[in-house]
Amino acid sequence: MAASAQSIAPGSMEVRPLTGALGCEIFGVDLANISTAEFAAIHQAFLDYSAVMFHDQILTQEQFADFGKRFAKLEDEPFLPHRADVPGVYYLRGAPKNAKTVSTQNLGWHADHTYQRNPSMGAMLYAREVPAAGGDTLFASNYLSYENLSPAMQAFLEDKIAIHDVLQYGLNSGHHSTATIAAIDMLRGMRTKFPQVEHPLICRHPETGRKMLYLNQAWTVGIKGLTRDESEAVLTMLKRHSTRDIFCCRFRYRSNSLMLWDNRAVQHSPNSDYTGGRLMWRVALHSDWEPGK
Ligand SMILES: [Fe+2]
């Protein structure tokens, strides 16, 4: 369990658990210059805590990308149009400075790229400009949501297959809720590129071997073999269950904070509750893992 794990970090590195559910902060390490032993400890914390934050990091885009490539090759971001100078790095911009209203671009709970046969291993955000307050990211543990289902529900779900669909993004998110022609055209293009895929609702994490409830609020749209009413009722229950407070943690960014998460083991929810400007650098970490295989 994340809460009981203690730092095994080398040198002055310190791993501090954030909650009893998941999440940690790592101090005493310079990500521009990490040793093999330090990376091994960071990787272990990534697996143990699922969401890891570092503070006070000074990185060039090359160094940020290189840190990501210690984990995996970097993958394209279908929804992010703003590529940075270094391949694999994207700009993620929030509300404009001095905006009067809170951004409506709130995707809510999701996991990245589960509408692909091979969802991302993880992602990293490096905070370059942060608002005075707001813009936190919340994470929910897929391990805990599975472990806290009743044995009867675990048994019912054991062989169930879920359908993931990129179109759900348009239905659920604030980005395209106005359903403009441009938004519909964009979503149609996304659907052509990413047909529906099937992932088991219960699967094991490919590295930790722990069982997980594998669904997310954005892209999971149905359960094979159930009627529409049955599928909707079960998914509504599971989606509510999977983000219960006791399975969650919440991170606040400072300028030069770096957030790293295991996209296989968590859902995340980026809050758009800020009005000042924000700029993040982002990379997605590729995985060849196909859930359930
Ligand atoms: Fe995301």
pTM: 0.92
* 268 alpha carbon – ligand 1 mean position (Å): 6
Given a cut of 80, whether residue 157 has pLDDT beyond it is yes
* 109 alpha carbon – ligand 1 mean position (Å): 8
What's the DSSP call for residue 259? Answer: E
Length of the chain: 293
- pLDDT confidence band for 95 (50 / 70 / 90): confident
| pLDDT tens, residue by residue, 202-246 | 999 999 999 999 999 989 999 999 999 999 999 999 999 999 999
Contact between 261 and 52 under an 8 Å Cβ cutoff? The reply is yes
pLDDT of amino acid 99: 59
| pLDDT tens, residue by residue, 168-181 | 766 655 554 555 67
- pLDDT confidence band for 67 (50 / 70 / 90): very high
Given a cut of 70, whether residue 101 has pLDDT beyond it is no
Given a cut of 90, whether residue 81 has pLDDT beyond it is no
123: helix, strand or coil: strand
| pLDDT tens, residue by residue, 30-39 | 999 999 999 9
* 202 alpha carbon – ligand 1 mean position (Å): 21
Among residues 234, 224, 206, 250, the alpha carbon closest in space to that of 149 is found at 234
* 82 alpha carbon – ligand 1 mean position (Å): 15
Q: Which fold has domain 2-285?
A: Double-stranded beta-helix (3.60.130)
Rounded CA-CA distance 283/273 in Å is 23
